């Protein structure tokens, strides 16, 4: 099977838009999903942002809708035919932009609606008529209830980042939205991981779907060097600064668990002279987009973010990811560190483990199915190293509150670096046997890829396994699955 876009039989206006982007070769998810969607099948796709999954569903949907294309200005000739539902505003915005771009030589229209913005301009656009509606669940329901949009002609539904939508608690909203849609339709569900909840969602709303996997779910990219350091809460900022300096890290994501923690940390790092910006749910849409832009342009070095705000951002690769807080949800660990080490490049993921994180670390170990080594961290400055003393035992299984992995002497690190000749002496603790990584010796290149450059999907792509999942059983009533009175859509 060819992996060229030209082999798909897409209409000329769509192919022209793809060619203008400089893409000729499909990404693995595109090569697998596009023919299946063109054939009218439901899809359950395991794919993260950065794999090219947006084009994987937008291109075949545009192709299938072309037969309804109309040059008429009458709204009646432009009913909503494809509905794409996503968890965050940024993601919705990115998907809508791609849909507009790929549909620019057709008469098919795309609109996006999400919360945190005035409803009026969105309403005006909806009333003019759009074929592709990209939306976050809450705002979509607002428009449905205000009768700004009719969904009775929807033929295609995409539930994108479905796991995240469930994490955020959008399930009731999704059930409600789906209850407004015609039962005869094509449904595509994309999720980074296939949890039991996601499987239940698929069982309820997908008909005999084709399972498409491009990377094994719950697997962390093998090119990412992962470190876990035992650091007390009060020492985390110091540890972060030290590692950034010692490793010569040019740009990094710093993940925290709360909005408040996010704002505070960004402010204090900024005060200490690090170019930092924050991305969290309390920021206005405008502020979030600006934060993102300045990170992409390289105007800021550290982007401090919560999981929800960072999910789905079209930032292709960062040299390092810090877990300032260990995530509450183990799957978020995979999402977070998936930001680095893409496209075969090595990346660094550093996690700060405090005494109270034992359970969360256990969850991550279970998910990754491997034991995680927690290391000690020596500080460069004079201040004595803060010992973890929270009344609970530190992470580790010995009797002391110091980290369980042996801490090599400073000299051993110095020697190790000297051997290579090219790196400054660093007292930043590191596995004595960790391979040296030339990635960190060369300057980091700007995050945006030039037009037509090689795609950014992770290495280690699984071969096509298009088949009906043995996990997916015939459609059942939603009420039975979710114990609500709502019928299956």
Q: Which stretch binds ligand AMP (CB under 6 A): 43-51, 351-359, 362-370, 436-444?
A: 43-51
β-bridge partners, 254: 304, 322
Cβ neighbours of residue 339 closer than 8 Å, sequence gap 6 or more: 253, 310, 315, 317, 318, 321, 347
Using DSSP's 3-state secondary structure scheme, residue 118 falls into coil
Task: Give least dist CB 412 to ligand AMP, A.
Answer: 41
Task: Using DSSP, state whether 289 is helix, strand or coil.
Answer: helix
- The minimum distance between CB 26 and ligand AMP, in angstroms, equals 5
Q: What is the DSSP letter of 456?
A: -
Near ligand AMP by CB under 6 A, which window of 51-59, 190-198, 239-247, 396-404? 51-59
Tell me the window of 45-53, 202-210, 430-438, 465-473 that interacts with ligand AMP (CB under 6 A).
45-53
**Residue whose C-alpha is closest to residue 105's, from 40, 8, 19:** 19
Q: Closer CB to ligand AMP, residue 94 or residue 230?
A: 94
Stretch that binds ligand AMP, among 50-58, 121-129, 360-368, 415-423 (CB under 6 A): 50-58
Query: Segment contacting ligand AMP (CB under 6 A): 44-52, 351-359, 421-429, 468-476?
Result: 44-52
Instruction: Please say whether the beta carbons of 484 and 352 come within 8 A.
Output: no
Taking the least distance from each CB to ligand AMP, the nearer of 166 and 343 is: 343
User: In the complex, which residue's CB is closest to ligand AMP?
Assistant: 54
Q: Count residues binding ligand AMP (CB under 6 A).
A: 15
As a whole number of angstroms, the distance between CA 71 and CA 74 comes to 9
- From 355, 358, 336, select the one nearest 347 (Cα to Cα): 336
Residue identified by tokens 């256990």 is: 362
Q: Which two tokens stand for residue 322?
A: 């810090």
Q: Bin 8: left if φ > 0, else alpha if -120 < ψ < 50, else beta.
A: alpha
Number of residues in the chain: 489
Q: Which is nearer to ligand AMP, 54 or 88 (CB)?
A: 54
Q: Is 54 in the site for ligand AMP (CB under 6 A)?
A: yes
Q: Which of residues 176-235 bind ligand AMP (CB under 6 A)?
A: none
CB contact burial 345-357 (16+ within 10 A = b; e otherwise): bbbbbbbbbbbeb
Query: Which tokens in the block code for residue 244?
Result: 């950034």
Within 10 A of 171 (CB to CB), how many other CB atoms are there? 18
Under rule CB under 6 A, residue 23 binds ligand AMP = yes
Q: Does 52 bind ligand AMP (CB under 6 A)?
A: yes
Single out the segment in contact with ligand AMP by CB under 6 A; choices: 26-34, 103-111, 138-146, 481-489.
Answer: 26-34
Give the strand pairing for 320-323 and 302-305: unpaired
For residue 263, give both structure tokens: 């704002």
Instruction: List the one residue from 41, 53, 164, 342 that touches ligand AMP (CB under 6 A).
Output: 53
Nearest to 346 by CA among 220, 221, 223, 219: 223
338 binds ligand AMP per the rule CB under 6 A: no
* Beta-bridge partners for 82: 132, 156
Provide the minimum distance between the beta carbon of 190 and ligand AMP in the complex, in angstroms, as a whole number. Answer: 10
Which of residues 51, 340, 354, 426 is near ligand AMP by CB under 6 A? 51
Of the candidate residues 42, 161, 235, 314, the single one contacting ligand AMP (CB under 6 A): 314
Instruction: Give the one residue of 50, 60, 87, 319 binding ligand AMP; rule: CB under 6 A.
Output: 50
Interface residue with ligand AMP among 31, 46, 55, 388 (CB under 6 A) is 55
- Residue numbers at the binding site for ligand AMP (CB under 6 A): 23, 25-27, 30, 49-55, 314, 455-456
């Amino acid at each position: 099977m060819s992996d060229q876009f030209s082999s798909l039989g897409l209409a000329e206006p769509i192919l022209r838009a793809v060619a203008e982007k400089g893409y000729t070769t499909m990404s693995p998810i595109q090569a697998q999903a596009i023919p299946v969607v063109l054939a009218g099948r439901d899809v359950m796709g395991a794919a993260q942002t950065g794999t090219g999954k947006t084009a994987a569903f937008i291109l075949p949907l545009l192709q299938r809708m072309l037969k309804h294309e109309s040059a008429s200005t009458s709204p009646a000739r432009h009913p909503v035919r494809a509905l794409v539902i996503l968890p965050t505003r940024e993601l919705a915005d990115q998907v809508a932009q791609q849909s507009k771009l790929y549909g620019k030589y057709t008469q098919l229209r795309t609109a996006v609606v999400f919360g945190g913005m005035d409803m009026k301009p969105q309403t005006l656009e909806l009333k003019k008529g759009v074929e592709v509606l990209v939306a976050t669940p809450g705002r979509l329901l607002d428009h449905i209830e205000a009768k700004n949009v009719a969904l009775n002609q929807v033929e295609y539904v995409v539930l994108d980042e479905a796991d995240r939508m469930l994490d955020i608690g959008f399930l009731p909203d999704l059930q409600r939205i789906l209850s407004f849609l015609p039962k005869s339709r094509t449904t595509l569900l994309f999720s980074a991981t296939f949890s039991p909840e996601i499987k239940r969602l698929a069982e309820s709303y997908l008909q005999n779907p084709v399972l498409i996997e491009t990377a094994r779910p719950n697997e962390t990219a093998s090119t990412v060097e992962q470190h876990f350091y035992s650091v007390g809460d009060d020492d985390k900022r110091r540890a972060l600064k030290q590692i950034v300096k010692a490793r010569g890290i040019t740009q990094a994501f710093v993940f925290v668990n709360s909005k408040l923690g996010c704002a505070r940390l960004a402010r204090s790092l900024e005060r200490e002279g690090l170019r930092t910006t924050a991305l969290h749910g309390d920021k206005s849409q405008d502020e979030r987009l600006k934060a993102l832009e300045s990170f992409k342009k390289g105007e800021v070095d550290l982007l401090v973010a919560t999981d929800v705000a960072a999910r789905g951002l079209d930032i292709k690769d960062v040299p390092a990811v810090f877990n300032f807080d260990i995530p509450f949800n183990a799957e978020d660990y995979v999402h977070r560190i998936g930001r680095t080490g893409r496209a075969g490049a090595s990346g660094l993921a550093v996690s700060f483990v405090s005494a109270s994180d034992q359970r969360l670390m256990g969850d991550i170990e279970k998910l990754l199915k491997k034991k995680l080594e927690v290391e000690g961290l020596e500080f460069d400055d004079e201040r004595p190293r803060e010992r973890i003393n929270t009344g609970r035992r530190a992470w580790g299984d010995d009797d002391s509150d110091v980290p369980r992995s042996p801490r090599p002497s400073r000299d051993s690190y110095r020697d190790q670096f000297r051997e290579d000749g090219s790196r400054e002496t660093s007292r930043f603790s590191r596995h004595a046997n960790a391979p040296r990584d030339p990635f960190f010796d060369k300057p980091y290149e700007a995050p945006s890829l030039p037009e037509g450059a090689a795609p950014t999907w992770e290495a280690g792509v699984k071969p096509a396994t298009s088949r009906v999942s043995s996990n997916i059983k015939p459609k059942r009533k939603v009420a039975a699955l979710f114990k609500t009175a709502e019928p299956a859509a």
